Every structure is written in structure tokens, then in C-alpha cells.
Structure 1
């Protein structure tokens, strides 16, 4: 959807399966990111680089999956990861941000181009870095500006769909204590995100926390109980249960 204003917990398929706030937290793992650790869904199937997708340009389907297995031995895994990311960076530089490519979020707000792929990879790495740090008992604060964009990116990519909302029309507001807020509109035209303006009507429900907390919430690492919730919590529960068809 590109024509309407530009919209939380696990990624990768339409709104419900690819991103629903408040589900049971995804168990943090120390396994390789490219192995789909943390529930990245179909957006993760190609490992951390994704360079074949960018290099292929516009396409109706993703390139054939590389049959090579991700290394399990630590040193080999680190070397594979570094090489994969360098291949991605090279593909992105060569393509430029506007080059179109296949993307599993094609029906949503995020653009199906090299810029959209790069943005998604940044936040996948950010959240899986948190997973690894948590597994090691050494969690570090996320950069606030990156976490803020991470919330916006997740809404744009994972909580935007033209599938009709099957309940009474509703709105959800997400407030980051750093000063940024977002709107998620749910109605017969689908689910659509937008920055929250000062003149916006009161929300049906809202969630407030730091940008890091909101990001971890939308990615399934935190639940509603970890945030300050106001309004009709049933709206969140409906969103969690929703399985839209596109």
C-alpha cells in the first residue's frame, strides 16, 4: 500500500503471523542469526546478508535458496557472517537505494527496494544482538535513535496490510518516552501506520515505554505487562489473534 499515510510482535508474513504485539516473548537464543533465531519468519530464510535478493533486482519471487548450510563451529560461523554481510553491503552499494527487488512485505508500506532491505537488516541485527547479549547475561542499551527507527520500520513492514480489519474500527497509539509517537489505524481498508500528529483523535488503546521497550515488544521479546497500557486492551488482544488474508 503506497497511497495512504505511512503503521507490532514477531516479523515475517502479514500482520498476524508476521507481527503481533503482546504474544509470548520469543525465547532468546545464542544460535546463528542466519538460522532464523528469534522467529524472523520468511524474511529470515536467506540468512543475514540477503545479497542475492538485492542483486537480482525486480522479481516476482525470491532467488533460489543457497543449499549451503550455515556453519556451526564458532570461527567458521563468524567468518561466514562477515563474508555474508560484506556481500550484502557490496550489493547495496552497487544497486543504490531505489533499486526495486523482491520483498515479502510487498503489500505493505515499506518499499520493496534496496533501501527497504537495508533498513530491515539493520533492525534484525539489532534485535538479535540483544538476544545474544541476553543469552550471555550482558545486555547493553540500544542506541535510542536506532530503536526509534526500529519501531517505525516494524510498523511499516510488519503491521501494514490491505486486508480488512474484521472488528470494529480502532486506533492504537505507541508512545516512546524519547518523544516519538506512532498511530496504527485498523479499519475496513486494512491496518496502516503513520506518525502521530498533535491533532489526532484519542486512541482506542495505547502503549507507552522507551523506544527500546517498544521495539522489543513488537519483536516479541516483551509483553503488554512490560509497558504502560491505557484504553481498551481488547484491541491489542484482537490484533494479536488476527490472521489477515492478503
Structure 2
């Protein structure tokens, strides 16, 4: 099976709109006070407010352009929910999409992943936020007792982004140098090279050779991503491991989630 190409900017915007609408839809069918299993201090209401606040934060960051720091609270208009929560959430999505469209994919802006070596642009904000919302849709589905896999295309892209951005932003690997392979059933694979300098990811496609690894984690991309985001345990039955299982456990708990 082959993977889909990386989405274009306009496709990321469409996915933000679609996944945000999916979040509101599943939230509307869930008890407002249902607890989020991955974030037990949050209810469904809290999570919907969190995502809306994130969208307004990223809108402010994109609108501000290049900056040495993230927007301060006073620079993020209406970040706290007001009035009807679903309506405020829908407006938050519209604010973000408007900021992204106005800026364009290549407009530089502040991002927390600047140290990863990846671009800090409106386009990378759009890409990252697709993945944020997709994981939070799954969170609300979990709270409602109806979890579903993430859509395959965004999940493959999200694994790629996580490995290059989240791991790429980390300081040196605290253990001995190792290599860990993650293999998506959709036909994409990555080898993480971990040493005192941090982590670097090498992409490969189905049938291509890849560096030897000390441990390998294979699964559908949705399950790989959910494991990386600590939404399912590293030893979940959906994850197929070979090599050093303890190394997989160390890897999953290493990055700081944002």
C-alpha cells in the first residue's frame, strides 16, 4: 500500500475546518462533564474550550508575524470562551482560518518548534494544528465511549511531523545511542537516530531499505500516533514490536507533549 502525498496548504485548512467541526459534533453528543481519559482533569467542555483557545492563540501568532516570543495573553483576543460554547468554538476556528488565509503558507511566525530545524511559518502552524485537533477529536470520542481511528492520511502526516518536530525539538537522548524504527501499515516508515545530540528521523517508503534498528514498532499510522501522544499504552495489542521493548517504552515517554 502506498501513502498519500503530503497535503497542500489549502488541504490543511480544509482539514482544520473538517476536524474542528467533527470535534464539535462528537462533543455535542457527549455528556458535557464526561472526563477525558487521556487528560482526566478535563471534561469535554474543558477540551472544547482548550481547542478554541489554541485556535485563537495560533491566529494571533500567525497575524503577528516573526517574533522572538509567543503572543502574550493580552495579545490573544477572546481566548476565553464567552456565550454559547459551540458558537464560540466555531468562531475560533473561523478566526484561525482567516488568519492563515490572509498570511499565506510561507509567512514566517513564532512557533515552539523553531529549535527542531523545521520551518516556522503559517503553513507549518496549519499542519501542526490539523494534528492537534485530530487527536482531540479522538479524546472526546474516548470520553463518549466511541473511539475511532484517526483518518489515515492525516495520521501518516502527523506521525511524520511528530518525529521531526516534537523529537527534533528535544535535547540530547539521555540513554546510549540507539535507532528505533516506526513502520506504518500504510507504507511509510521512519528510523529515529537517537544520541547525545538529540533525535533525527530518516523517512523511507515501502520497499525501500532503511537503517538497521535496535527496536521496531509497527502498526496503522493512527495507532502509532496515539502511542506517541500517549493516548494508548506502548504495549497496546495494536502495536507490533520487535527488538528491545524497553527502548520503545523509553522513547514514548521522552518528548514533552504540547
Q: If the length of structure 2 is used for normalisation, what is the TM-score?
A: 0.73
User: Structure 1 residue aligned with 2:44, among 16, 23, 30?
Assistant: 30
Question: 1:27–1:221: 8 Å Cα contact kept in structure 2?
Answer: no
State the 1:141 CA deviation: 3.6
Q: CA RMSD in A?
A: 2.5
Matches of 1:126 and 1:32, distance apart in 2: 16
The residue matched to 2:54 in structure 1 has which SS?
Answer: coil
State the 1:101 CA deviation: 0.6
1:186 corresponds to which residue? 194
Structure 1 pair 34/181, CA: closer, same or farther in 2 (3 Å)?
A: same
The runs of at least 4 consecutive aligned structure 1 residues that moved more than 6 Å come to none
Structure 1 pair 83/133, CA: closer, same or farther in 2 (3 Å)?
A: same
1:47 corresponds to which residue? 54
Matches of 2:141 and 2:253, distance apart in 1: 30
2:218 corresponds to which residue? 208
**Larger helix share, 1 or 2:** 2
Question: 1:33–1:48: 8 Å Cα contact kept in structure 2?
Answer: no
1:238 corresponds to which residue? 250
Matches of 2:225 and 2:64, distance apart in 1: 30
Structure 1 pair 70/161, CA: closer, same or farther in 2 (3 Å)?
A: closer
Q: If the length of structure 1 is used for normalisation, what is the TM-score?
A: 0.76
1:85 paired to 2:97: no
1:131 paired to 2:139: yes
Structure 1 pair 133/162, CA: closer, same or farther in 2 (3 Å)?
A: closer
The residue matched to 2:210 in structure 1 has which SS?
Answer: coil
Q: State the structure with bigger RCO (CA 8 A, min sep 6), 1 or 2.
A: 1
Unaligned runs of 5+ residues in structure 1 are: 1-24, 38-43
